[in-house]
Amino acid sequence: MADHLYIGIDSGTQGTKGVILSGRSGRLLAESYHSYGLIENERGGREQHPDTWIAACEKVLSDLLASPLVRASEVRAVGVSGQQHGMVALDGQGEVIRPAKLWCDTETTRQCGVITARAGGEQAVLEAIGNQVAAGFTASKVLWLRDTEPEGYDRLATVLLPHDYLNYWLTGARVSEFGDASGTAYFDVVNRCWSQSLLSAIDPSGKLRDCLPGLLAADEPAGLLRPEIAEQFGLSDEVLVSSGGGDNMMAAIGTGNVVPGVVTASLGTSGTIYAYADRPVVDDSGELASFCSSSGGWLPLVCTMNVTVATELMRALLGLDLETMNQMAAAAPPGAEGLILLPYFNGERTPSLPEATAHLGGMTTLNMNPQNFCRAAMEGATFGLRYGLEVLRRNGIEPREIRLTGGGAKSLLWRQLVADSFNCEVVCVQQQEAGAVGAALQALWCAEQAAGMQTSLEEITSRFVSLDERTRCAPDRDSVARYDDLYATYLSYDHALRVLNGA
């Protein structure tokens, strides 16, 4: 009996992952990963050329379909997860005008203030879209293009997000999905439509409105594979491409975070912490990203810019492999004997300190050793993410457990540190590639909807997403109290240094 197979692609900042999921057994039949780098400058610019993503996707798809466990004829649908907020600018022929500016780009910070002022101030922006014009969101990138590369803006015909561009490559359709569109800062998350007031604040001429893609609900297909793509990979041209979504939205699906009460936290390059909601959750302070989910609801989310960034920089500085770094961090006591790291290496989104830099404090003649440096990097990144959890709690979201994803979640020490610092049980899912798995599951959901089946996404995730109970960590009461004190010290450093960090 033929199986139905579903491909999930997760195009991220550091590389592209891919999986093929069996609709019959729920097993991942094949996995692949290809890495790439960034284009950086000293002004805070962080870019990639979309051709890089296409080349990585082609390699991943070729790898997946070469697996002896996979029959290309059984592939039914593809789903794409992509890094959020990036700006892909296309001309009238669908050609890329310039490299894409990414979520971690802070070169466009000045434009955030300009857009906010033109739109009537922070409160007016919050009322219009449910979010602020945060550094890293797409809106400031578009105005930056208009301000600094007007010849490129004159050629502009379509603005897409990274996952939208991959869907465009696969299908030829220029469309966007509610969840990923939420991170543009010109999308109204309550009414699920482009915001005319924010678009006018970016470009009062009206040109930008004409450059936006059509909008899709989460369970709608972006289209069918283009015949030339289907032929290239030996697939049927009846293969559906689902709406897809941003990496956080897809990771929510991949961790079963599609009902209230579940919270997902990612210990990746950046850190995110988010929960499903069946209504919009708009934070009065604007620190909470009020996103739509890619599962039909909403996804209140907090992002911090620096998690494994901090530990990887420390590891490189000390010339350590991952195992040795973990051992050194474990050898240091909680609090790293007084060392405190504010890990703002890429600036910071939450709290909003886009021009901030990292600071290491509390140094004495007694605590300057590699063990404490490793511990301080891990704790500082965790405290940054705890700040995000406090924002969620302030908005009425209290986790019963936190499902961890990302490279940092593979460390037992780091999982226990999160449990103690957050005072909440943490656990990983069996399949760590949550973004790619979530994209495959959304593709399955979309295909079943298109076939007239009324299967809910909750039913699908309950069948296909399982927890790895070996990774579960419960908070230790004594350590919780200790980390409450350490977090208070971290906050005191943060507030004291904000005059230097652009606040």
Just list the catalytic residues. 247
Both tokens of 363, joined, read: 């140094």
Widest distance between CA atoms in the chain: 69
Task: Render 271-334 in DSSP notation, one character per residue.
Answer: EEEEE-BSS----TTS-SEEEEPSSSSEEEEEEES-SHHHHHHHHHHHT--HHHHHHHHHHSPT
Q: For 200-206, which contacts have Cβ atoms below 8 Å and span 24 or more sequence positions?
A: 200/118, 201/115, 201/116, 201/118, 201/119, 202/115, 202/139, 202/142, 202/143, 202/146, 203/142, 203/143, 203/146
**CB 40: neighbour CB atoms within 10 A?**
12
Interior angle at CA 182, CA 203 and CA 95, nearest 5: 60
Neighbours of 82 (CB within 10 A): 30
- Name the residue among 182, 166, 169, 174 with its Cα closest to residue 212: 174
Cβ–Cβ < 8 Å for 452, 392: no
Give the Cα separation of 136 and 192 in Å (integer).
21
Structure tokens at 15: 């590389």
Contact by Cβ (8 Å): 349, 248: no
Q: For 173-190, give the secondary structure using H, E and C.
A: CCEEEHHHHHHHCCEECC
Cα–Cα distance between 380 and 487 in angstroms, integer?
Answer: 9
Q: What is the DSSP letter of 347?
A: B
Chain centroid to CA 480: how far?
28
H or E segment at 253? helix 247-254
Q: Residues 6 or more apart from 297 whose CB is under 8 A from it?
A: 258, 276, 277, 278, 279
DSSP 131: S
| Among 2, 5, 6, 3, CA closest to 242 | 6
